[in-house]
A and B are shown apart, each in its own frame.
Chain A
Amino acid sequence: MSTGAPELVQDVGGGIAPGRETSAEIAARSPLELFWRRVRRDRVTLASALFILGLVVVAVFAGQIVDLVGARPPNEQSTKFLDEFGSASGPDFAAHSYFGTDGLGRDVFSRTLYGARISLEVAIISTFLTVLIGVVLGVIAGYFRGWADTLLSRLMDVMLAFPVLLLALGLGAACSFGQGCVQMSFANVGQVMVVFGVAGAFLVVGWRLLRARGAGDARPRAAELAAGAAAWLVVIVPGLVLWLAVGGHGALITPGLPVVIFVIVIASWPYIARIIRGQTLSLREKEFVEAAKALGASDRRIMFRHILPNLVAPIIVYTTLVIPTTILFEAALSFLGVGVQPPTASWGAMISDATEIFDTAWWYMTFPGLALVLTVLAFNLVGDGMQDALNPKTRGR
């Protein structure tokens, strides 16, 4: 049995068949039970999960922990804690300076703890948005196929080809001028969105017409064309709103948490959407979907009751694998200066600062670096463990 799950083989009235049918009753295990059995035996996954749990506790109670051990608050600068040359001082347990200080005399220990808070905040919000957008668009593309699929798949290609880090670098460079803000107003963003949307709509309609000509079919239905073009309103309408309504006030994009999350989500959703699209494509061909159609089930019912529940396992696995990449992404953006803005503590920003004084203050880079590496590693290990535990093909153990 390829499912790996022991099966109850006892057909009603089928007891005459010899062999396996008579071999008593094998207790059937539910997938959940099987999942727990496997996870419990997997020590690496368990240890990683405990580490993450600890990290969450630390992030939530960072303030209390810092008070408890007598360390200073994360943003308190003090020349008292610099060494005699006025630069960062190393760990000193007697002074409750466990991880030393940075160049401004701030406590690295409490900054590392507060950094966990930022990392997890970004990880949770952007992973949630990434998975939400990825799953919704992936299921729509895979289930409806046709023009919706063409549109979304091309969009994914564009997004995957988009040099996100370059964009981040550009933002970072722009930020180092003036007030530390990008001199691009929402109106500019709105204009770009409108142009992009209109061009996209024309491209889609043109493509459909061209393809229909080539295939020699009947002309595509007007409704379908209209729908294809209308999909771009999703981009055009908010663009117009930004341009005309918001943009007039000369709002500026300032780097910070929302920009970080936006960039991460834009860069990551296509990966999830692709995987989910592929899975949906194969699920929609299953006979149980056909059976639901034969019963007269609506598309909504098929997607919510028949397709989504069967996507739970891959969604869990890829969610756990997206979390570490978002943490790294946030660190990278903060390192480049477009992430979380000072004085807020972030691992990436701390590592970035530390590069300047690494030869004299090893501790400044070591502790946030270690925290980052361990966290990412733990999430990756848990993701791998989940994948093994949820995959019916890895047997027994």
Chain B
Amino acid sequence: MTDGLAGPVGDAVVGAAGIAVGAGAPALVEVRDLEKRFPLRRGPLQRETGAVRAVDGISFDVREGETLGLVGESGCGKSTTARLVTRLLEPTAGTIRYRGEDITHRSRRELMALRRDMQMIFQDPYSSLNPRQTAGSIIGEPFVIHGIERDETRRRARVRGLMEQVGLNPEHYNRLPHEFSGGQRQRIGVARAIALKPRLVIADEPVSALDVSIQAQIINLLSDLQRELGLTILFIAHDLSVVRHMCDRVAVMYLGKIVEVASAEQLFAHPRHPYTGALLSAVPVPDPQLAKLRRRQVLGGDVPSPTAPPAACRFHPRCPKAQPICSREEPALEVKEGGNIAACHFPLTIEEVAGRLPVRPG
């Protein structure tokens, strides 16, 4: 399967979507119809009274060497997706393949080898580092767990090398996390993630807890490391501005479903799904002239509860283009004008798109 998206949608339709970036590169991770439900229990007998459908049947590929962005508001299931792919959570249904092998229900022991290959960077640099461990011992932990570099001095040397690689002073080896700034802490998290030279790094909102001035540094660091180490990155973010400079392709999630997938250029030039359009109109614009021209579209209403998601198109209660059919028939993910893959009965047109984009159309 060389297409970006497959599964229930129909390979024929999607296969025609020659998404430029990375087309032809083999898929490192293939996710099909992935589902995760968290049961809600109540009462003395703990009866299951319902379930949060955090991830509700999504399919995507992460191709070797690319950076795939996964974007959506908080609560849309993107972090759950990250934890399903890394198998920190047990999927309810669907399959996850890594390099062709089904890893959906592997046990913890069977996953050990995979853990070396697949690493994660976490959102909060304050809670993702054990406050009682020194920087050196945090970065060295992967070696200890996997029994690599058992020799103390050689391990230290490797850890120092890693610290340098991520832009930390190796002399701070014995410092505790609270002695570092937020940006430096995130660098420690990055060093820990790349210690075992993984193929795939899953970054769960790695910069959203950081100051804006520091965000760019961490993004640049990730880009540099990707080039040096040939990493594949699944980059999760809650707004599109961060994703833009980092990602080759972007998938937009809303309430546990993927609503649009496109290459970064396509998505920013002509979003097709109204939700993507709304997200894009919220991206700040550096050009004041353009900012004046732009109509900001603020989404009305709250995100509906994932315990009882709206029928058919889940976006219909908030969608400016909604029609009766939207609450009756679920739109399929299919190729729209311009090559984007979107799930919408009435995709955005060129005119509608024009006023909202953070870039000049064309």
Which A residues are closer than 8 A to B by beta carbons? 3, 5, 7-14, 16-17, 28, 30-31, 210-211, 214-217, 286-288, 290-297, 301, 305-306, 309-310, 312
Contacts and interface: CB of A to CB of B under 8 A. Distances in A.
Interface string B318-361: 00000000000000000000000000000000000000000000
B127 A287 contact: yes
Contacts of B213: 14, 16-17
Given A5-B178, A7-B179, A296 B167 contact: no
Contacts of B131: 310
Interface string B181-212: 10110010100100000000000000000010
Contact of B181 (A11, A287, A292): A11
A292 B119 CA distance: 11
B181 A17 contact: no
Contact of A288 (B47, B129, B145, B146): B129
A215 B211 contact: no
Given A5-B178, A287-B122, A309-B132, A12 B127 contact: no
Contact of A296 (B46, B115, B123): B115
A30 B46 contact: no
Contact of B128 (A16, A288, A296, A312): A288
Interface string B116-131: 1001101110011111
Contact of A292 (B132, B141, B189): B141
Given A211-B46, A215-B46, A296-B145, A14 B217 contact: yes
Given A14-B213, A296-B146, A310-B131, A291 B112 contact: no
Contact of B176 (A16, A30, A288, A293): A30
A8 B180 contact: yes
Interface in B138-154: 141-142, 145-146
B183 A14 contact: yes
A302 B129 CA distance: 13
Given A10-B181, A293-B88, A296-B112, A306 B130 contact: yes
Nearest to A292: B141
Interface of B: 39, 41, 45-48, 83, 86, 88, 108, 111-112, 115-116, 119-120, 122-124, 127-133, 141-142, 145-146, 167-169, 175-176, 178-181, 183-184, 187, 189, 192, 211, 213-214, 217
Contacts of B183: 11, 14
B178 A3 contact: yes
A293 B47 CA distance: 30
A294 B45 contact: no
A288 B127 contact: yes
A124 B256 CA distance: 55
B124 to A, nearest CB: 6
B127 A7 contact: no
Contacts of A28: 175, 178-179
A286 B126 CA distance: 10
A17 B211 contact: yes
Given A8-B180, A12-B184, A286 B214 contact: no
B41 A12 contact: no
Contacts of B169: 12
A135 B340 CA distance: 56
Contacts of B122: 287, 290-291
A215 B168 CA distance: 51
Nearest to B130: A288
B111 A214 contact: no
B97 to A, nearest CB: 19
Contact of A215 (B47, B124, B130): B47
Given A17-B211, A297-B145, A291 B115 contact: no
A17 B131 CA distance: 26
18 contacts: A8-B181, A11-B184, A11-B214, A12-B168, A12-B169, A13-B217, A14-B214, A14-B217, A211-B46, A214-B45, A215-B46, A216-B47, A287-B124, A288-B127, A288-B129, A294-B120, A296-B108, A296-B115
Contacts of B108: 296
Contacts of A13: 167, 217
B145 A301 contact: yes
B202 to A, nearest CB: 9
A301 B128 CA distance: 16
4 nearest CB pairs, A to B: A296-B115, A214-B45, A287-B128, A309-B132
B47 A214 contact: yes
A210 B47 CA distance: 10
Contacts of B119: 294-295
A289 to B, nearest CB: 8
A217 B127 contact: no
B130 A309 contact: yes
A7 B178 contact: yes
A281 B264 CA distance: 41
B241 to A, nearest CB: 19
A154 to B, nearest CB: 13
Nearest to B218: A11
Nearest to A9: B181
Contacts of A293: 88
A290 B116 CA distance: 15
A15 to B, nearest CB: 10
A316 to B, nearest CB: 14
Contacts of A290: 83, 88, 120, 122, 128
Q: In this complex, which of A31, A210, A291 has the most chain B Cβ atoms within 10 angstroms of its Cβ?
A: A291
Contact of B145 (A8, A216, A295): A295
